[in-house]
Structure 1
Amino acid sequence: MPLRSHVSGKVPTLRRPFTSRMLRTSHHNMSTMPRPYRFHVCANWLAAPPEHGLKKRTTPFAPDTAIGLWRDHVLTSPRRGFSKTPGEDFFYVQEMRNQSGVSFGVADGVAGWALSGVDPSLFSQALMYHSHRYAKVGWPGEPEVDTTQDYEAREAVEGWELHPLECLKLAYQATLRERDIIAGSSTACLINLNASSGLLRAANLGDSGFMIIRSSAVFHRQRAQTHFFNCPRQLAKVPAILQGRSDRITDPPEAADIYETKLRDGDLIIAYTDGLSDNVFNHEITSICSLISRSGASENAQVQLTSDRIIEYARACMYNDRRTSPFEKMAAMNGKYHFTGGKPDDITLVVALVREVI
């Protein structure tokens, strides 16, 4: 891609997520309240080629279904990613109610289901679709009110505060109700950025994750959740034949790690699937971000270039068997000494640059 969403008090409502076209601003009183923070957001992806040249059997959502329509719109937005689809990964970026903030997330469908003839991408796509759907009508913090109105008028504010963990719970339950999904599982990382308070809230389940880069250093990197090496915690829909063993392959949304922090001007948030974290070290990511921040490019261009360069570098790393990768180091620590070099995998990124409005 990348895809752009510029969120602030003067930015019009995005009726269709991910388009960069400016739409008519709502004249609702609360939508014109000043926002001290704005966010430049883009998404990008790279699908790894099929292993050993074998094409995976897939049964995607039909293009005339709600998820299929949304998926196709996302993937044909102004600028495409490095491949036609994100493979078994997916993502969403969604402006929240009355331009009060932005919500985004990434999900990595667990590939093991393909051995049973199940398309692993369906679960991650549905999970991100329903996350976007709930985030669209929620507030990143307490619903904003016009203090010039009387108390009764304030009580009539529509919508509710939607924490990423609550969004994950709702999206998971909706995914379980999808008849087109017989089975499947996925990791998930959901993040809300509040345009009024500058607060970041996140919920992460599995080995996808996010990092916050501040002043060219990693301020925070979310830890991966795994049952054991290379087996992440995951949300799952389990067929009846495996129900007795479902506790071994599925985790509840409540198992997600939650995190929150106050953001600062210039912070860079990068949400990613494990195709990035398995192949690129922290210091390499911060070096790329530092070079781009000094390029003099516009803020939108910076987030685009950041996502481009990180994916380009990760792609080179995953096919380099002479370079020690983070995955190789972890494999050695867990007694898997036969693994060397990078690890080919899908990569999905959402990058957000924080700016304080003066």
Structure 2
Amino acid sequence: MVAGAYNIPKGTSCFRGRGDDAHFICEERHTIGVADGVGGWGIMDIDPGEYARQLMANSLEAILMEPEGKVDLERVLNQAYSKTKVKGASTACILTLIDNCLHVANLGDSGFLLIRKEEIYKSEIQEHYFNRPFQLGQFSDTPDLAEIFPVDVKAGDMLIVGTDGLFDNMFERQIRDIARLGAEVGLYPEQVAWAIAEHAYHNSMKKKVYTPFMKAAKNSGRVFSGGKPDDITVMVAYIVDA
């Protein structure tokens, strides 16, 4: 797994200069992860991104303590959750590659696409209701609600991992087309991540563009037009022969 990432934070306030998202890349263990802090905590003068940053840092620490050649994501997520003591809440999506199998732990509305030629597999969103995703936190959901599952992969596959700032503003086929073009012309994963994130950002700022968030709002009986401004984190990973 050869991975790179790009982040575009929303806003420039004292909290949001770094944004609410967090991520990590652990090349040693072929593991990547992303988290999206819940912005509502900012109303209480609490940095919404701090929980996400600590959760990802604690996840990475737990991963490095796992036995060689094995990463138990259920154990990792539980350990990271138990060690994250700051106020706040966050989604989480962690993926690890072991042999030819991708192991996933996902909670909330961050997630991933697996792209194989024309095919696209997308992880499912977990939410209590529209725009209220599952989220880890002391006063929120717990790791036992995370979906833990394997996905078979092979050389040539691409992974696009992101927060809802990506998936609310770009449809799967749009992400696939940019990712495939980038790979075909030999771009590095972080360059492809940048291209996708920039496209999502431009969509998020438009009022006259049809977006997944607009579609989901309509399906839930709400009126919303255009893109949804948000923190955007995109991670791209190429699955290659060892």
Short-chain TM bin:
over 0.9
Alpha-carbon contact 1:89-1:348 (below 8 Å) kept = yes
Query: CA-atom RMSD, angstroms?
Result: 1.6
CA–CA separation in structure 2 for the residues paired with 1:57 and 1:109: 11
Question: Corresponding residue for 2:71?
Answer: 162
Larger radius of gyration: 1
- C-alpha distance in 2 between matches for 1:234 and 1:290: 31
Query: What is the DSSP-based 3-state SS (H/G/I as helix, E as strand, rest coil) of the residue aligned with 2:238?
Result: strand
TM-score, normalising length from structure 1?
0.65
| C-alpha deviation, 1:294, in angstroms | 2.1
Aligned residue in 2 for 1:336:
222
Deviations 1:139-192 (A, max 9, x none): 4xxx45xxxxxxxxxxxxxxxx4322211110000103xxxx2x2100000111
Spell out the pairing of 1:3-82 with structure 2 (5 A cutoff). Answer: 39-49=1-11, 55-57=13-15
Number of aligned positions between the proteins: 242
The question of whether the paired residues in 1 share the 8 Å contact of 2:116 and 2:157 is answered with yes
Match of 1:277 in 2: 167
- 1:326 corresponds, among 200, 212, 217, to 212
Q: Aligned with 1:356: secondary structure?
A: coil
- The 2-side partners of 1:114 and 1:304 are apart by 30
Using the alignment, how far apart are the partners of 1:170 and 1:320 within structure 2? Answer: 40
SS of 2:170's equivalent?
Answer: coil
Deviation, 1:293, is: 2.3
Paired letter, 1:122: E
Match of 2:182 in 1: 292
Q: Larger relative CO (CA 8 A, sep 6+): 1 or 2?
A: 2
Q: Which residue of 2 is the match for residue 184 of structure 1?
A: 88
Whole-angstrom distance in 1 between the partners of 2:201 and 2:15: 24
Aligned to 1:259: 149
Deviation at 1:353, TM superposition (A): 0.2
Query: Partner of 2:62 in structure 1?
Result: 134
Q: Percent identity?
A: 33
Secondary structure of 2:52's counterpart equals helix
Match of 1:237 among 138, 144, 149: 138
Aligned residue type for 1:204: N
Aligned twin of 1:174: 83
Alignment-mate amino acid for residue 160 of structure 2: I
TM-fit CA distance, 1:345: 0.2
Per the alignment, residue 222 of structure 1 pairs with 123
Please give the per-residue CA displacement for 1:260-300, whole angstroms capped at 9, x wherever unaligned: 122111111111000000000001011111212221x2xxx
SS in 1 for 2:84: helix
C-alpha contact (below 8 Å) 1:127/1:175 kept by paired residues: yes
| SS of alignment partner, residue 199 of structure 2 | helix
Alignment partners' CA distance in 1, 2:152 and 2:212: 29
Structure-2 separation of matches of 1:56 and 1:321: 27
8 A Cα contact 1:216 1:290, kept in partner: no
Structure-1 separation of matches of 2:241 and 2:46: 45
Letter in 2 for 1:261: V
- Supply the AA of the counterpart residue of 1:106: V
Q: Which residue of 2 aligns with 1:103?
A: 31
In 1: Cα distance, 2:227 partner to 2:183 partner: 27
One-letter amino acid of the structure 2 residue matched with residue 340 of structure 1: S
Mark the runs of 5 or more structure 1 residues left unpaired by the alignment: 1-38, 59-83, 145-160, 239-249
Mapped to 1, the partners of 2:159 and 2:84 lie a distance apart of 27
* Equivalent in 200, 205, 212 of residue 107 of structure 2: 205
CA contact (8 A) 2:8 2:197 kept: yes
1:187-206: CA deviations, max 9, x gaps?
A: 00011112xx2210001000
User: What's the CA shift string for 1:61-83, capped at 9, x where partnerless?
Assistant: xxxxxxxxxxxxxxxxxxxxxxx
Scaled by the length of structure 2, what TM-score is found? Answer: 0.95
221, 233, 242: which one pairs with 1:348? 233
